[in-house]
Amino acid sequence: MEQQDNIEHRQDDPGEVQEDITPVESPLTLTEELEEVTRERDQYQSAMQRAQADLINYRRRAEEERGEAIKHANGRLLNRVLPVLDDFGMAFEQAPEDASQQPWLEGFRLIHRKLHSLTEAEGVTRIEAEDKPFDPAEHEALAQVESTEHDDGQVVQVVRDGYKLRDRVLRPAQVIISVRPQPDAEEQRAGAEFQQDKET
């Protein structure tokens, strides 16, 4: 009987029933929460897209750098072979005239041609410098000579050949460049006197 009284008592008490039911949120609060969640989703999505674009750019840059490294990997070794080619060239210039048909000299010429072919196969080309305008990116000026036959700053003599590995300079050409002759002091004074006479 006591249990039945307790059950009836619980049903009669309206405060206890209302405590078990959670209050329903207003539609305005739900809309604000939805907007906040949508805003966060958009932020995460744009951050993910930026990270993905950064990764794609990084991979592309790394691939380009690796390609450049492979393309120029032999540069140091080839740069060390160039003095050997120079030495062969100087030796051939100093060879006696009567030795031109000697088998040993022909053997050296064959070795020189093979070395030259090897460097060409790797993409090494000689820098054409003679009679060209001086270019500090490809030429190294060792001296200047006065010349009326050449333009100012034109290469008149190549002392040592320069080489490029594809588009990169391995070794600049050492050159002598021309400069216009400067009139000496007497010529300048005579020219100034002539100018004064002409004006008076």
Domain boundary among 71, 103, 131: 71
Same domain, 96 and 65: no
Average of per-residue pLDDT values in the chain: 80
Q: Please report the pLDDT score of residue 166 as a whole number.
A: 83
| 191 part of a folded domain | no
Same domain, 61 and 85: no
Nearest of 139, 131, 145 to residue 161 by alpha carbon = 139
Whether residue 91 is predicted with pLDDT greater than 70 in this model: the reply is: yes
Residues 101-133 have pLDDT tens digits of 788 888 888 999 999 898 898 889 999 988 889
Residue 185's pLDDT band, with cuts at 50, 70 and 90, is low
> What strands lie across the sheet with 163-165, from one edge to the other?
124-126, 163-165, 168-171
Tokens 């609060």 belong to residue: 29
Q: What is the pTM of this model?
A: 0.57
For residue 89, the number of C-alpha atoms closer than 13 Å in the C-beta half-sphere is: 11
Same domain, 157 and 91: yes
Whether residue 93 is predicted with pLDDT greater than 60 in this model: the reply is: yes
Bridging pattern class, strands 168-171 and 173-179: unpaired
Same domain, 80 and 61: no
Which tokens belong to 70? 């492979």
Same domain, 56 and 85: no
Same domain, 158 and 82: yes
Same domain, 96 and 44: no
Query: Residue 97's domain spans which residues?
Result: 75-179
Same domain, 135 and 151: yes
Which tokens belong to 46? 């744009």
| 40 part of a folded domain | yes
| 85 part of a folded domain | yes
Count of the separate structural domains present in the chain: 2
Residue 184's pLDDT band, with cuts at 50, 70 and 90, is low
Same domain, 57 and 82: no
- Report H helices in the chain: 2-12, 14-20, 27-71, 75-94, 103-121, 185-199
Distance (Å, rounded) from C-alpha 131 to C-alpha 150?
Answer: 8
| 196 part of a folded domain | no
| 158 part of a folded domain | yes
Q: Is 119 exposed, middle or buried (0-12, 13-18, 19+ CB in 10 A)?
A: buried
| 63 part of a folded domain | yes
